[in-house]
Structure 1
Amino acid sequence: MVNKWIEYLEQNKDQQLMKLKEFLKIPSVSALSKHKKDIHKAARWLSNELERIGMENVKVMETEGHPIVYADWIHADHKPTVLIYGHYDVQPVDPLHLWETPPFEPTVRDGKIFARGASDDKGQVFMHIKALEALLKTEGKLPINIKIIIEGEEEIGSPHLPKFIEENKELLQADVLVISDTGMIEKGKPSITYGLRGLTGLQIDIQGAKTDLHSGAYGGGVQNAAHALVQLLSTFHDEEGRIMVDGFYDNVLSITDEEKQAINALQLDDEKVRTELGVPELFGEPGYSFYERTSYRPTLEINGMYSGFQEEGIKTVLPNQASAKITCRLVPNQEPEQILELIKQHIEKHKPKGVTVKITPFDSGAPFVTPLNHPAIQAAGRAASKIYGTETAYIRSGGSIPIVADFAQILQVPIVLLGFSLDSENFHAPNEHFHLENFYKGMQTMCEYWNELAEIRFK
Structure 2
Amino acid sequence: MTDKEKALRYVDEHFDEMVAELTRACACASFAGNPAGLDAMRTALQDDLKSSGLTPTLHPVEDGNALISAGLSGDSPRTLLFYNHYDVVEPGKTEHWTNKAPFKADIRGGKIYARGVSDDKGGLYFRLHAVRAMMNANGHLPVSVKFLVEGDEETASPSMTRFAQANTEKFKELTKADVCLWENGRVDAAGRPWLRCGVRGAVAFDLRVTTAKSDVHGRMGAAAPSASWRLIWALAALKEIGTEKIAIDGFYDDVLPASEADLQVLHDFPYDEAHTKKSLGLKSFVRGATGEELKRQIYLEPSLSVCGLEAGEVHNGVRGIVPHTAYARLGFYLVANQDPADIEAKLRAHLRQQGFDDVEVTRCGGASRPVRTRPDHPFRARAVIAAKNVYAQPMVVELTQLGAGPAAVFRDAWPDLPIFGIGPANTSGNHHAPDENLGLEDYKNSIKYLIELCYSYVRD
Same fold (TM over 0.5): yes
Are the counterparts in 2 of residues 28 and 88 from structure 1 also a CA contact under 8 Å?
no
Are the counterparts in 2 of residues 87 and 150 from structure 1 also a CA contact under 8 Å?
yes
Match of 2:61 in 1: 63
Query: 200, 224, 227: which one pairs with 1:225?
Result: 227
3-state secondary structure, aligned to 1:424 = coil
3-state secondary structure, aligned to 1:268 = coil
Identity percentage of aligned residues = 26
Q: Which amino acid aligns with 2:338?
A: Q
3-state secondary structure, aligned to 1:18 = helix
Structure 2 vs 1, CA of residues 88 and 202 (structure 1 numbering), >3 Å: closer, same or farther? closer
3-state secondary structure, aligned to 1:119 = helix
Post-superposition CA distance 1:116-148 (Å, at most 9, x none): 322122222121111112222333321111111
What is the alpha-carbon distance in structure 1 between the residues aligned to residue 375 and residue 29 of structure 2? 35
Query: 301, 305, 311: which one pairs with 1:307?
Result: 311
Match of 1:390 in 2: 393
Structure 2 vs 1, CA of residues 442 and 286 (structure 1 numbering), >3 Å: closer, same or farther? closer
Residue 44 of structure 1 deviates from its aligned partner by 2.6
Are the counterparts in 2 of residues 185 and 393 from structure 1 also a CA contact under 8 Å?
no
Residue 403 of structure 1 deviates from its aligned partner by 1.6
Match of 2:51 in 1: 52
Matched, 1:266 2:269: yes
Q: Which amino acid aligns with 2:174?
A: L
Match of 2:338 in 1: 334
Matched, 1:184 2:187: yes
Are the counterparts in 1 of residues 69 and 148 from structure 2 also a CA contact under 8 Å?
yes
Are the counterparts in 2 of residues 240 and 286 from structure 1 also a CA contact under 8 Å?
no
Are the counterparts in 2 of residues 380 and 418 from structure 1 also a CA contact under 8 Å?
no
Structure 2 vs 1, CA of residues 314 and 351 (structure 1 numbering), >3 Å: closer, same or farther? farther
Residue 46 of structure 1 deviates from its aligned partner by 2.4
Query: 239, 242, 247: which one pairs with 1:244?
Result: 247
What is the alpha-carbon distance in structure 2 between the residues aligned to residue 105 and residue 269 of structure 1? 34
Q: Which amino acid aligns with 1:136?
A: M
Residue 205 of structure 1 deviates from its aligned partner by 1.6
Q: Which amino acid aligns with 1:86?
A: N
Structure 2 vs 1, CA of residues 339 and 105 (structure 1 numbering), >3 Å: closer, same or farther? closer
What is the alpha-carbon distance in structure 2 between the residues aligned to residue 332 and residue 434 of structure 1? 30
Query: 74, 82, 85: which one pairs with 2:83?
Result: 85
What is the alpha-carbon distance in structure 2 between the residues aligned to residue 395 and residue 230 of structure 1? 36
Post-superposition CA distance 1:59-91 (Å, at most 9, x none): 2333323333221112436x1112112222333
What is the alpha-carbon distance in structure 2 between the residues aligned to residue 15 and residue 384 of structure 1? 24
CA RMSD, aligned part only?
2.5
What is the alpha-carbon distance in structure 2 between the residues aligned to residue 41 and residue 211 of structure 1? 47
3-state secondary structure, aligned to 1:426 = coil
Instruction: Name the TM-score, length of structure 2 as normaliser.
Output: 0.89
Residue 219 of structure 1 deviates from its aligned partner by 3.3
Matched, 1:18 2:17: no
Post-superposition CA distance 1:299-352 (Å, at most 9, x none): 122122222351576544222322222121111011111121111111111125
3-state secondary structure, aligned to 2:185 = coil
Match of 2:257 in 1: 254
- Which stretches in structure 1 are left out of the alignment for 5+ residues? none
Q: Which amino acid aligns with 1:70?
A: S
Match of 1:170 in 2: 173
Q: Which amino acid aligns with 1:371?
A: R
Are the counterparts in 2 of residues 351 and 357 from structure 1 also a CA contact under 8 Å?
no
Structure 2 vs 1, CA of residues 86 and 304 (structure 1 numbering), >3 Å: closer, same or farther? same
Q: Which amino acid aligns with 2:151?
A: G
Matched, 1:435 2:434: no
What is the alpha-carbon distance in structure 2 between the residues aligned to residue 338 and residue 244 of structure 1? 15
Structure 2 vs 1, CA of residues 246 and 448 (structure 1 numbering), >3 Å: closer, same or farther? same
Does 324-333 or 93-102 show the bigger shift? 93-102
Any residues of structure 2 matched to 1:38-437 within 5 Å, and which?
A: 38-55=37-54, 57-64=55-62, 65-76=64-75, 79-101=77-99, 102-166=101-165, 167=167, 168=170, 169-216=172-219, 218-238=220-240, 239-284=242-287, 289-308=293-312, 310-311=314-315, 314-351=318-355, 356-362=358-364, 363-397=366-400, 399-412=402-415, 413-437=417-441
Instruction: Name the TM-score, length of structure 1 as normaliser.
Output: 0.89
What is the alpha-carbon distance in structure 2 between the residues aligned to residue 201 and residue 74 of structure 1? 41
Are the counterparts in 2 of residues 294 and 398 from structure 1 also a CA contact under 8 Å?
no
Match of 1:6 in 2: 8
Structure 2 vs 1, CA of residues 185 and 369 (structure 1 numbering), >3 Å: closer, same or farther? farther
Q: Which amino acid aligns with 1:93?
A: P
Post-superposition CA distance 1:406-445 (Å, at most 9, x none): 1222333221111220132223233322101111100110
3-state secondary structure, aligned to 1:400 = strand
Match of 1:31 in 2: 32
3-state secondary structure, aligned to 1:120 = helix
Structure 2 vs 1, CA of residues 339 and 285 (structure 1 numbering), >3 Å: closer, same or farther? farther
- Which stretches in structure 2 are left out of the alignment for 5+ residues? none
